[in-house]
Amino acid sequence: MNPFSYTRPEAVADALNDIGQQPNAKFIGGGTNLIDLMKVNVEHPTHLVDVNHLPLGDITELPDGGLRLGASVTNADTAWHPLVEERYPLLSKTILAGASPQLRNMATNGGNLFQRTRCYYFYDAQMSCNKRQPGSGCPAINGYNRIHAIVGMDKAECQNPNSKTACIATHPSDMCVALAALEAVVRVTGPNGDRSIPMADFHRLPDTDPQRDNTLEPGELVTSIDLPAKGFPKHFTYVKLRDRSSYAFALVSVAVGLEMDDNGTITEARIAMGGVAHKPWRKSEAEQLLIGKPATDETFRAAAESLLDGAVGFGHNTFKIELGKRAIVRALQEAIS
Amino acid sequence: MIGQPISRVDGPAKVTGKAKFAAEFNVPNLTYGVVVTSAIAKGRIVGIDDREALAQPGVRMVMTHKNRPKLARLDLNYKDQDAPAGSPFRPLQDDKIFYSTQPIALVVADTFEMARYAATLVKVAYHEEAHETDLQANLSEAHNPAAGPVNLFKPLPPKPRGNAQQAYMEADKRVSGEFVHQAEHHNPMEMFATTAVYEAPKRGEKPRLTIYDKTQGAPNSQLVVANGLNLPFKNVRVISPFIGGAFGSGLRPQYQLLLASMAALELKQSVRVSLTRDQMFTMGFRPATVQKIALGAQADGTLSSVYHQAIAETSHREDYTETVVNWSGELYKCDNVALDYQLVSLDVYSPQDMRAPGGVTGVSVLEVAMDEMAYEVGMDPLEFRIKNFTSWDQTHDRPYSSKEILACYREGAERFGWARRTPEPRSMRDGNVLVGWGMASGVWMADQIPARAEAVLGVNGKLRVSSATADIGTGTYTIMTQIAAETLGLPIDDVLFRLGDTDMPLAPIQGGSWTAATVGNAVRVVCEDLGKKLLKLAAQMPDSPFKKAKSTDVQFVDSHMRLVGDPSVAISLRDIVALNGGKAVRETSTSIPNMLKQSRYTRYTHSAIFAEVRVDPDLNVVTVSRLVGAVAAGRIINPKTARSQIIGGMVWGLSKALHEESVRDNNVGRFMNHNYAEYHIPVCKDTPDMDVIFVEEHDDVVNPMGIKGLGEIGQVGTPAAIANAIFHATGKRVHDLPITLDKLL
Ligand SMILES: Cc1cc2nc3c(=O)[nH]c(=O)nc-3n(C[C@H](O)[C@H](O)[C@H](O)COP(=O)(O)OP(=O)(O)OC[C@H]3O[C@@H](n4cnc5c(N)ncnc54)[C@H](O)[C@@H]3O)c2cc1C
Ligand code: SF4
């Protein structure tokens, strides 16, 4: 871990100023990911700007019936917030499926969006890694890739053993999977003013620059995550499959929100997956396959096939293709009951 | 006192933070060392650029093979008590890289933070060579292991008996299979650390080191530091009062010990080196194995043939061995047995004993095969084992000193409700969930070896007993206190047992489940000897009623010595000490096993483990919902700490069955899941209610106190019991551990 300086601004403008002062400055929320990465010599910020004293620590109702989750509210406080529990139980359930109570007590909503992949090679600074050290190669593709992606990567690049851009990392967050299903919007502010980024556009696929996890620009600060009014409080679930029953990242996970009419026909559907791609994985085609259909296992399987259409395995993670489909079916079964 | 569920005497110190661990001993002017490890798996270091590191404020030294202090040359100087045949690794020996993550430099600075940062600035250039770390790809390179002194306690396979191959061909029923177990790392909570306190030499002498080390045997650490660094033994004192778990990883001195000691000598200043969690994967581990087993049986369920082969990995430096296959020729009656154990040398660190080394590895395979055979012959798995029970060890042609495994089967089955099991796989359900019941036998050694202890009765009537053993969390402090208190009739609070200091009488490393028996008997003997001294003192009183008493005529109860014939004739221990001219009464004794008697018997502990699993039929998520362990382990000194030992072992068995695996990427030759987030052990939610039964077992052969030790037996049968339960639930036999959900898809 390198030496660094630290400030704890109380105004957003000061935070933006602080972050702009040094090229290698970073925000810090709960520090549960950033500090780990600094300790293993992967991140080397020379300055840290603490966001916890900014006025971003509230959960407030929005005029359109939605909810605004402040960036520095902890994951625990978010999950247990009465309005979240009532209107967005999917989000509560999903957050509580992640990490451990201690981590959730520290982790912030803003930080959760930015947590980095758990790829073993990314975490080991002595290994090459296109994400950590662009152009150095991706040892995961022919190495140990149990927790890696099955969709969303550049397949041709992944077949090239010397590829300088290939990456099959996954985004590890649980929370973000629910946020994707709920079509949350990330609000940011920065040197060029405020903007809103829909969840679908917030994280990115590796493309030719896997070093970039998301579309945030340098110097930008996340201020809140806004949830639209529709929260699927009746028909929802989060299925998380992992190697032990707690304190493990998802091998595959599925967040589902459904609306159904009185005949049991699905009228609206959201399915997002974690553990399979560089970002929470959604496909409107798959969701469309459910609309107007009776809630049967055949319908569910068809949606599952569609969502994971074209999935590829790299050896250790190949099981995710079938497991992922079964998890989708299970999640839909749970959501309708 | 003995047999009572006394709470840990060291518990309050541990939970209040008073107990100090190796990295917590603070001394003035302490410096901090951080280890730099090799990025490649094999080759040579061709250059180390430490300029940037050295330029940082407060950095004292970057110690490498080039500037380290002089080390002894001979392998002999690095042979610790648990060293296998070969050439022990020593850090910074020369420019050669033997394995990925090998320690290659130590950066020492005034603060830990600066040392850690500077360590990232050391640039190393390598000449890389092709490495081999893949056991399965190199099975053809297997060789017979070289034996060393440690094989006295870890025997290599015996000669075959009968004709296993022919019997297999002639058997009515046959099962065979190949099993792959992955490597595992001990990963105790406390990471390895050494605080080496430097004391400048007196004129004409060598410097002294007082070393706080994480070790399962302070004398073992002393041995390697004194020999390796060419210091007189009296100049090296090793202290290790508390250990935050070790599981065998502390049976051999780890490399930070020599690094801290070398740096202290070089800098003439105290140095602490603590490893990181990641670096806990840069040392010994439970080796991966590929095992083959073939069983033959007659139609009536009589086992007629056993073939069991294990091929394990080791390093190029040492032939680390463990007893993997021998159990298969001992646990059951069988006239035709062939066992084979071989090693493949790879570019890895030497593997190392890890809780139930070899035992859990081999028995996990035997007991799954036994389950398969039970199905082949159409018998209940428990009945099949009972049918093949033997009280005669055919391998050594001698009886067991005791083997109450039938009682384990009976009592365990009853507690578990085994009789309600329906044999068909997939036949038991709870709603949609598949339920499976499985069981397995367990076996482990019950050794006793020589040890010394000292007992001192102070003028205040309190007893202090000490021995240079260790307590890795097993409860040694507690049970030794109990044994001493019982022997001299004192309340627990009047007895203080101390350990972990080379100034104390010698005891062996704490491993092999032998400490309770070994040190327990030493404590017993020294307290008895002290009692004799007290009798002598009392007899010298004017008009002493003890004048003619022999040691068998007195007993020690209620802090008094009393005549057995007339307990009202008594003198308090405090009054006896007063007779000693105001001086404490002390005694040092050695307990030596009765080897002649012991050698006529095979001395083992046994167990039966019963497991219930629940399996999601679509997603294959496995939950262990119940575990019952019935254990025959001789005399139980403390049912509370004993139960904790067995529970801990069973949890680890569960871990081995379902979770634990150090995953090696053979392309880069390194373990890749080197942290607690990715190296999975069970969380509370994964561990079910556990029931532990200790069956009655009397054994005066194992040692005078009849103690057998409990450190490993809980683990041995558990993985197979769970694997068998998974078969019963799903109809799928998974041979390779851990059984992760993808293997059931
Ligand atoms: C052992 C372990 C297990 C875990 N298991 C799970 C799990 O099962 N599921 C799961 O989802 N997560 C899991 N986590 C991850 C955890 O959820 C994240 O570490 C946490 O959400 C990160 O939040 P933080 O506030 O601590 O972020 P920090 O570590 O403080 O920051 C992370 C990143 O976000 C940036 N950042 C923080 N706030 C802002 C902001 N307002 N604007 C812009 N940038 C910002 C920082 O600069 C940094 O780069 C686990 C973590 C650990 C250590
Ligand atoms: S998968 Fe991505 S993060 Fe992992 S090693 Fe390859 S490039 Fe790096």
Q: How many CB atoms lie within 10 A of CB B432?
A: 8
The residues that bridge with B623 in the sheet, in sequence order, are B614
Ligand 2: residue of A117, A158, A163, A212 to mutate (most ligand atoms within 8 A of CB) is A117
What is the spatial distance between Cα B33 and Cα B56, in angstroms, rounded to a whole number? 14
Q: What is the pLDDT of residues B389-400, one digit of tens each?
A: 999 999 999 999
CA nearest to B118 within chain A: A2
Q: What is the mean pLDDT of residues A130-158?
A: 97
Q: What is the pLDDT of residues B174-187, one digit of tens each?
A: 999 999 999 999 99
Confirm or reject contact between B745 and chain A (CB < 8 A): yes
CA nearest to A99 within chain B: B677
Q: How many CB atoms lie within 10 A of CB B140?
A: 7
Question: Which of B149, B345, B351, B153 minimizes the C-alpha distance to B252?
Answer: B351
Place of tokens 């270091």: B45
CA nearest to A253 within chain B: B619
Kindly report the protein residue whose alpha carbon is nearest to atom 31 of ligand 1.
Answer: A111
β-sheet with A25-28: strand ranges across: A5-7, A47-50, A25-28
> Residue A121: CB within 6 Å of ligand 2?
yes
Confirm or reject contact between B741 and chain A (CB < 8 A): yes
Question: Which of B150, B2, B152, B5 minimizes the C-alpha distance to B634?
Answer: B2
DSSP B199: E
* B537 pLDDT above the threshold of 90: yes
The residues that bridge with B611 in the sheet, in sequence order, are B438, B627
Question: Which of A317, A291, A53, A166 minimizes the C-alpha distance to B741?
Answer: A317
Among positive and negative, which fits the CA dihedral B22, B26, B30, B35?
A: positive
Q: Kindly give the pairing relationship between strand B123-128 and strand B43-49.
A: antiparallel
Work out the percent of chain A whose per-residue pLDDT is above 70.
100
Among positive and negative, which fits the CA dihedral B618, B620, B626, B631?
A: positive
Place of tokens 């996990």: B364
Which numbered atom of ligand 2 lies nearest the CA of A168?
A: 1
Q: What is the mean pLDDT of residues B359-387?
A: 98
Confirm or reject contact between A319 and chain B (CB < 8 A): yes
Which numbered atom of ligand 1 lies nearest the CA of A188?
A: 42
Residues of chain A neighbouring B116 (CB-CB closer than 8 A): 1
Note the ipTM here. 0.96
The residues that bridge with A60 in the sheet, in sequence order, are A68
Residue A242 lies in a domain: yes
Question: Which of B709, B479, B527 minimizes the C-alpha distance to B607?
Answer: B709
Tokens, residue B695: 């069956």
Of all ligands present, the nearest one to the C-alpha of A137 is 2
3 state SS of B483: helix
Q: How far is B412 from chain A (nearest CA, A)?
A: 27
What is the spatial distance between Cα B712 and Cα B708, in angstroms, rounded to a whole number? 11
What CA–CA distances, in Å, run from B381 to B373, B413, B702?
8, 11, 30
Q: What is the pLDDT of residues B691-742, one digit of tens each?
A: 999 999 999 999 999 999 999 999 999 999 999 999 999 999 999 999 999 9
> Residue A269: CB within 6 Å of ligand 2?
no
A110 alpha carbon – ligand 1 mean position (Å)? 8
Q: What is the mean pLDDT of residues B463-491?
A: 97
DSSP B67: T
CA nearest to A100 within chain B: B683
φ and ψ at A331, to 5 degrees? -65, -40
Of all ligands present, the nearest one to the C-alpha of A154 is 2
Q: Which CATH architecture has domain B451-592?
A: 2-Layer Sandwich (3.30)
Give pLDDT, residue A320.
98
DSSP A163: -
Q: What DSSP string runs through B100-164? A: TT-EEEEEEESSHHHHHHHHHH-EEEEEE------TGGGGGG-BPPPP-GGGGTSPPPPPPBS-H
Question: Which of A172, A137, A179, A171 minimizes the C-alpha distance to A157?
Answer: A137
Question: Which of A108, A117, A115 minimizes the C-alpha distance to A223?
Answer: A108
Confirm or reject contact between A263 and chain B (CB < 8 A): no
B396 near B329, Cβ under 8 Å? Answer: no
Q: What is the mean pLDDT of residues A233-249?
A: 97
Sort residue A14 into left (φ over 0), alpha (ψ -120 to 50) or beta: alpha
CA nearest to B36 within chain A: A126
What is the spatial distance between Cα B362 and Cα B360, in angstroms, rounded to a whole number? 6
Residues of chain A neighbouring B684 (CB-CB closer than 8 A): 246
Tokens, residue B548: 């003619």
Residue A123 lies in a domain: no
Residue A68 lies in a domain: no
A154 alpha carbon – ligand 2 mean position (Å)? 13
Question: Which of B70, B499, B468 minimizes the C-alpha distance to B258?
Answer: B70
Query: Is A126 in contact with B39 (Cβ distance < 8 A)?
Result: yes
Question: Which of A303, A116, A98, A113 minimizes the C-alpha distance to A199?
Answer: A113
Of all ligands present, the nearest one to the C-alpha of A148 is 2
Q: What is the pLDDT of residues B460-469, one digit of tens each?
A: 999 999 999 9
What amino acid is encoded at A245 in this protein? S
Place of tokens 């007899």: B539
Confirm or reject contact between B580 and chain A (CB < 8 A): no
Residue A332 lies in a domain: yes
* CATH (one of 3.30.2310.20, 3.40.50.720, 3.30.365.10, 2.40.50.180) for B138-185+285-447+599-744: 3.30.365.10
In whole angstroms, how large is the CA radius of gyration of chain B? 27
Q: How far is B182 from chain A (nearest CA, A)?
A: 14
Q: What is the pLDDT of residues B25-65, one digit of tens each?
A: 999 999 999 999 999 999 999 999 999 999 999 999 999 99
- Say which CATH topology domain B11-130+186-281 has: Aldehyde Oxidoreductase; domain 3 (3.90.1170)
By residue range, what is the domain housing residue A20? 5-45
Q: What is the mean pLDDT of residues B71-85?
A: 96
**Which residues have CB under 6 Å of ligand 1?**
A 26-34, 36, 51, 71, 75, 98-99, 103, 106-108, 110-112, 114-115, 172-175, 221-222, 249; B 677
Task: Kindly report the average pLDDT of chain B as a whole number.
Answer: 97
3 state SS of B240: coil
Give pLDDT, residue A304.
98
Among positive and negative, which fits the CA dihedral A168, A172, A176, A181?
A: positive
Give pLDDT, residue B582.
85
Query: Is A323 in contact with B678 (Cβ distance < 8 A)?
Result: no
Q: What DSSP string runs through B554-617? A: EEEETTEEEESS-TTSEEEHHHHHHTTTT--EEEEEEE---HHHHTTSB-EEEEEEEEEEEE-T
Give pLDDT, residue B512.
85
Which numbered atom of ligand 1 lies nearest the CA of A216?
A: 43
Q: How many CB atoms lie within 10 A of CB B491?
A: 11
The structural domains of chain B, with segments of one domain joined by +, span 11-130+186-281, 138-185+285-447+599-744, 451-592
3 state SS of A268: strand
Query: Is B686 in contact with A244 (Cβ distance < 8 A)?
Result: yes
Q: What is the mean pLDDT of residues A251-255?
A: 98
Q: Which of B372, B411, B661, B712 is catalytic?
A: B712
What CA–CA distances, in Å, run from A181 to A63, A164, A257, B280?
21, 32, 7, 40
B298 near B335, Cβ under 8 Å? Answer: no
The residues that bridge with A256 in the sheet, in sequence order, are A237, A271
Q: B400-412 b/e with 16+ CB inside 10 Å = b?
A: bbbbbbbbbbbbb
Mutation test of the interface with chain B: which of A243, A328, A332, choosing the one with the most B Cβ atoms within 10 A? A243
Residues of chain A neighbouring B674 (CB-CB closer than 8 A): 124
Q: What is the pLDDT of residues A63-74, one digit of tens each?
A: 999 999 999 999
What is the spatial distance between Cα A174 and Cα B629, in angstroms, rounded to a whole number? 37
A291 alpha carbon – ligand 1 mean position (Å)? 35
The residues that bridge with A258 in the sheet, in sequence order, are A235, A269
Confirm or reject contact between B621 and chain A (CB < 8 A): yes
Give pLDDT, residue A323.
98
List of residues 6+ apart from B234 with CB closer than 8 A: none
Query: Is B683 in contact with A245 (Cβ distance < 8 A)?
Result: yes
pLDDT band for position B68 (cuts 50, 70, 90): very high
CA angle B471-B475-B480, nearest 5°? 90
Q: What is the pLDDT of residues B586-598, one digit of tens each?
A: 999 999 999 999 9
Q: How many CB atoms lie within 10 A of CB B72?
A: 15
B192 alpha carbon – ligand 2 mean position (Å)? 30
pLDDT band for position A161 (cuts 50, 70, 90): confident
Number of compact structural domains in chain A: 2
List of residues 6+ apart from B55 with CB closer than 8 A: none
B739 near B434, Cβ under 8 Å? Answer: no
What amino acid is encoded at A119 in this protein? C
Q: What is the pLDDT of residues B498-524, one digit of tens each?
A: 999 999 999 999 988 899 999 999 999
B693 alpha carbon – ligand 1 mean position (Å)? 45
Query: Does the active-site annotation cover B712?
Result: yes
Mutation test of the interface with chain A: which of B34, B742, B745, choosing the one with the most A Cβ atoms within 10 A? B742
Q: How far is B36 from chain A (nearest CA, A)?
A: 11
Query: Is A143 in contact with B682 (Cβ distance < 8 A)?
Result: no
What is the spatial distance between Cα B69 and Cα B52, in angstroms, rounded to a whole number? 22
First to last CA, chain A: 50
Residues of chain A neighbouring B658 (CB-CB closer than 8 A): 244
What is the spatial distance between Cα B259 and Cα B608, in angstroms, rounded to a whole number? 44
How many Cβ contacts (< 8 angstroms) between chains A and B?
85
* A127 pLDDT above the threshold of 90: yes
- A residues 163-222 closer than 8 Å to B (CB): none
Confirm or reject contact between A139 and chain B (CB < 8 A): yes
Residue A156 lies in a domain: no
Q: Which of B278, B675, B745 sits opposite A319 (nearest CB)?
A: B745
What is the spatial distance between Cα B153 and Cα B353, in angstroms, rounded to a whole number? 12
* B367 pLDDT above the threshold of 90: yes
Task: Kindly report the average pLDDT of chain A as a whole number.
Answer: 97
Give pLDDT, residue A121.
98
φ and ψ at A6, to 5 degrees? -150, 130
Confirm or reject contact between A301 and chain B (CB < 8 A): no
Q: How many CB atoms lie within 10 A of CB A191?
A: 12
Check which CATH number belongs to the domain holding A276 and give it: 3.30.390.50
Tokens, residue B372: 């398969």
B43 near B128, Cβ under 8 Å? Answer: yes
Q: Kindly give the pairing relationship between strand B463-467 and strand B451-457.
A: antiparallel
